[in-house]
């Protein structure tokens, strides 16, 4: 259940998903994405609380109306699911953003340097920057992405050396988990505590030897990762969705 959170996925759509009608769920217009596949024997539905959309998987012969009727029958469940998501966290002056699991207050001064600086404040760590106020969020996100690349590359190299593997290229974005000679991670992972981030990276490196989730995979992961991966999984289960909402 936690594999999709291992890389804090963005749920990007593949080519066989189509944007179909928009439905209203308690005052919110929510797009319906329909995927027809020969493997489907019935209509199934998932609410994506991050992208704010409904995903339907159904047999090729099923009409769109059947999908919309199914959505109409599940309005109460959909409303509860969509409203369970944490509020979007804007990254603006006076707000806070997590970095390595700790809150950092955003301190903006329009005449200060535009480069983001990490400062030890009287009440905790702060991120200081200047420039136009409307550019604050973008600059904070760029800083987080730069820090993410620096930390991720070092830790991929660490676990690959431990595994006897050649370090692959890092793809930084909002991906699903991928196997092969590229490790794809979301920059948002840099907001999680270090032990959670390292657990996810060790998980991806372990897949270079075992491309499944077999007992052998988990035994190998436990050899690579020095911490408590189950504690990391619990953290992701509790906070993963909120992490995905930041900066959207």
214 within some domain: yes
Task: Note whether residue 185 is domain-resident.
Answer: yes
pLDDT of 2:
54
Domain-embedded: residue 90: no
The reply to whether 87 falls in a domain is no
CATH number of the structural domain spanning residue 213? 3.30.2010.10
pLDDT computed for residue 178 by the predictor? 43
Q: What is the pLDDT of residues 75-126, one digit of tens each?
A: 888 888 777 666 666 788 988 899 999 999 999 999 899 999 999 877 789 9
Average pLDDT value for residue range 147-169: 95
Both 143 and 201 in one domain: the answer is yes
Domain identity same for 56 and 173: no
pLDDT at position 245 is 73
Residues 100, 72 share a domain? no
Does 158 share its domain with 211? yes
In this predicted structure, the answer to whether residue 177 has a pLDDT above a threshold of 50 is no
Residues 143 and 197 in one domain: yes
Q: Is residue 202 part of a domain?
A: yes
Same structural domain, 146 and 218? yes
Residue 49 included in any domain? yes
Q: Is 125 exposed, middle or buried (0-12, 13-18, 19+ CB in 10 A)?
A: middle
- Tens of pLDDT, residue by residue over 165-174, are 999 999 887 5
Domain ranges, residue 73: 13-82
| Domain end position, chosen among 30, 49, 82 | 82
Tell me, yes or no, whether 18 lies in a domain: yes
Domain-embedded: residue 137: yes
Are 159 and 198 found together in one domain?
Answer: yes
In the three-class reduction of DSSP (H, G, I as helix; E, B as strand; rest coil), residue 53 is classed as strand
pLDDT tens digit sequence for 29-77: 888 989 898 888 899 988 877 677 888 999 998 888 888 999 889 888 8
Share of the chain above pLDDT 70, in %: 85
Nearest to 143 by CA among 194, 106, 184: 106
Arithmetic mean of pLDDT over the chain? 84
Do 224 and 106 reside in the same domain of the chain?
Answer: yes
What residues have CB less than 8 Å from 26, skipping those under 6 apart? 75, 79, 83
Q: Is 179 a residue whose pLDDT tops 90?
A: no
Q: Is the pLDDT of residue 219 over 80?
A: yes
């Amino acid at each position: 259940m936690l594999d999709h959170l291992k890389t804090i996925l963005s749920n990007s759509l593949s080519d066989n998903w189509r944007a179909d009608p928009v439905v209203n769920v308690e005052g919110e217009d929510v797009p319906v994405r329909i995927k027809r596949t020969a493997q489907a024997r019935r209509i199934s539905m998932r609410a994506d609380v991050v992208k704010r959309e409904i995903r339907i998987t159904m047999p090729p012969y099923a009409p769109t109306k059947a999908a919309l009727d199914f959505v109409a029958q599940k309005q109460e469940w959909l409303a509860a699911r969509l409203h369970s998501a944490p509020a979007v966290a804007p990254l603006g002056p006076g707000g806070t953003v997590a970095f390595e699991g700790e809150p950092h207050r955003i301190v903006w001064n329009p005449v200060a340097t535009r480069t983001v600086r990490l400062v030890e404040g009287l009440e905790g760590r702060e991120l200081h920057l200047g420039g136009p106020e409307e550019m604050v969020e973008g600059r904070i996100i760029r800083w987080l992405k730069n820090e993410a690349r620096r930390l991720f590359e070092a830790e991929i190299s660490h676990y690959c050396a431990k595994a006897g593997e050649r370090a692959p290229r890092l793809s930084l974005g909002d991906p699903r988990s991928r196997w092969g000679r590229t490790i794809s991670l979301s920059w948002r992972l840099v907001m999680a505590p270090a032990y959670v981030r390292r657990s996810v990276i060790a998980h991806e490196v372990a897949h270079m030897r075992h491309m499944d989730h077999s007992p052998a995979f988990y035994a190998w992961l436990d050899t690579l990762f020095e911490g408590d991966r189950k504690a990391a999984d619990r953290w992701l289960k509790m906070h993963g969705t909120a992490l995905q909402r930041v900066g959207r």
